[in-house]
Chains A and B, each alone.
Chain A
Amino acid sequence: MKNRRSVLEILVTLPSALWLAIFFLVPTVVVMAIAFKPTNPYGGVGTGWTVATWLSLGNPSYPAILWRTLWLSLLTTAASIVFAVPVGYYLARIRKRWRQFLLLLIIVPFWTSFLIRIFAWKVLLHPDGFIKKGLVFLHLAGDGASLLYNPWAVLLVMIYSYVPFAVLPIYAAAERFDFQLIEAARDLGAKQWQSFLKVFLPGIRRGLLTAVLMVFIPALGSYLIPDLVGGPDSEMIGNKIAQRVFVDRNLPHASALSSLLTLAVLLPMTVVLFLPGRRGRPDLMAGEGK
């Protein structure tokens, strides 16, 4: 019986493990390897090994882009958490039917096309759009000011895109939080904000940490958002990778940049994976089917 068990285990594990090893793990290693290859004149990869590509990353334009990638991602994460905590709290405290409906409304953007949602913002922030007209009418913006093609537009759309990733883990943690603890704190004389800061937030810290990483990691790799609503002064590392691939077809250079991004992403990712939730797994989908 024991033997039979392990044969079945291998049988159901193998298809996904093999597929992901071939199409996910191997490609990641290939990227790292090609970063040490020279280019060839046909836009492909040459023979032999070199560190020249890595040295060319010292190019002065890169530190600025890396720095921008970092601060845009950090601000996106901070804003998403601040926004998501009260929403998670609210969802955990309301009646079940109503909560299911609201959760559905929050999950739907996950499913809808990323491209379309960014395009919708492009229309909204357009110089002829009503937000711009409203701001000009209120004398909050000049006629010539542009709401699009700057880092702030990128930040706004990044928050818009990534905030659902923060709401779900925070809600999942809040849902399991014992709200009587807050009442106890209040009975013992804590003010409302004190019970929130000193009882509620520590109580959901695991959900908070998951939320931080779930927003921060994908945010670091943003490419489409700065591409569509950003300008030349809002490029992120993802845009540089795409340019090296599609504009000047320098695959080793693109690989070096990607390796850098992979390393930046790997560390926080390991944290999420080893951060135990129920059954030793991170609580991501906990919001679903509840």
Chain B
Amino acid sequence: MKRSRVPLVATVAMLVFFYLPIMVLVINSFNASRFGSTWEGWSLRWYLRLLHEREIWYALKNSLIIAFGASFVSVLIGTAAAFALHRYASRLQKTHYAMIFAPLVMPEILMGIGLLLFFVALGVNLGLFTIFLAHVTFCISYVAMVVLGRLQDFDFSIIEAAQDLGANWWTVTWRVLVPLLMPGIVAGGLLAFTLSIDDFVITFFVAGPGSTTLPIRIYSMIKHGSPPLINALSTILLVVTFTAVWFSQRLMEDAK
């Protein structure tokens, strides 16, 4: 029986479609030319120029503070949530699941405006702290989903065995459950970190004066800045993201 070639062709086409724009951007970041249209030889000048852009460094600092804070808090909350969703099959968990799931599909702009109006209504000053709160909110769901995926092939008889051997729930949690779930937790944390450091839409709504993050800076550079610098900056961010993905996939695989 002859198999159709369409699936293979479609898959190759999709990968070209996905990676062509990214490749062009990366290659252009090494282009000496100020305008991407002509090739004037390899150069690192745009990367060197980045070193002198004080505003980018300032924005990077803000982004890192938020990303570390938000991923830490969302890992704690998200892991607990995943555990609850997996362990219990009550009506409470059905509602809980809907709450965790909704932010994953909800258009970002709706979450952005909702949080903005919420903070305005409460009279909270917009700044790094409001961005942090917003990021934790959307990261919880992603962390919960990743950890839930890990829990799906988790053998709960290990816990029962530990309990039979006299371990109390504190010991079970910290000596058995958490170490075994660690790969999933770290993968969830990495996802939260990259989502936080890359987020633009929600951040844009809840940012205040002086709380420029890296994506907000990139956005204003796209609107009025110099493209080669954005190419260089984007390439660095892409490398960071690819490393994080690769690392988290390794974690998920090794755990098997």
What is A's interface to B at a CB cutoff of 8 Å?
8-9, 11-13, 15-17, 19-21, 23-28, 30-31, 34, 44-45, 83, 86-87, 89-91, 93, 100, 102, 104-109, 111-117, 119-124, 126, 128-130, 133, 160, 163, 167, 183, 186, 192, 196, 213-214, 217-218, 220-224, 228, 238, 241-242, 245, 251, 254-255, 258, 261-262, 265, 269, 272-273, 280-282, 284-285, 288-289
Chain B residues within an 8 Å CB radius of A105? 15, 18-19
Contacts of A11 in B (CB 8 A): 80
Total A-B contacts with CB atoms under 8 angstroms apart: 269
Asked if residues A245 and B113 are in contact (CB atoms below 8 Å), the reply is yes
Please give, as numbers and ranges, the residues of chain A lying within 8 Å of B111 by CB-CB distance.
Answer: 24, 27
Decide if A8 touches B169 in the complex (CB within 8 Å).
Answer: yes
Contact of A114 among B153, B198, B253 (CB under 8 A): B198
CA distance A93 to B22 in the complex (A): 28
Give A27 to B107 CA distance when docked, in angstroms.
Answer: 14
B88 contacts A9, C-beta separation under 8 Å: yes
**29 pairs from A and B in contact (CB 8 Å cutoff):** A9-B92, A12-B80, A12-B83, A12-B84, A13-B80, A16-B144, A19-B136, A23-B136, A23-B137, A24-B99, A28-B110, A30-B121, A34-B117, A83-B10, A106-B14, A106-B18, A108-B242, A111-B191, A112-B22, A113-B200, A113-B238, A121-B21, A123-B36, A123-B227, A129-B36, A221-B108, A222-B107, A223-B201, A285-B149
A23 B118 Cβ-Cβ under 8 A:
yes
B interface residues with partner A (beta carbon < 8 Å) = 1-2, 4, 6-11, 14-15, 17-22, 24-25, 28, 35-37, 76-78, 80-81, 83-84, 87-88, 90, 92-94, 96-111, 113-118, 120-121, 133-134, 136-137, 140-141, 144-146, 148-150, 153, 169, 191, 194-195, 198, 200-201, 205, 215, 218-219, 222, 227, 230-231, 234, 237-238, 241-242, 244-245, 249, 252-253
Q: A13-B84, A107-B245, A115-B215 are in contact. Are A19 and B7 (CB under 8 A)?
A: no
Rounded to whole Å, the gap between the CB of A7 and the closest CB of chain B is 11
On whether the beta carbons of A104 and B249 are closer than 8 Å, the reply is: yes
Given contacts A214-B105, A228-B222, A251-B120, contact A113 B234 (CB under 8 A): yes
Q: Closest residue of chain B to A17, judged by CB?
A: B96
Cα of A228 to Cα of B224 in the assembled complex, Å: 12
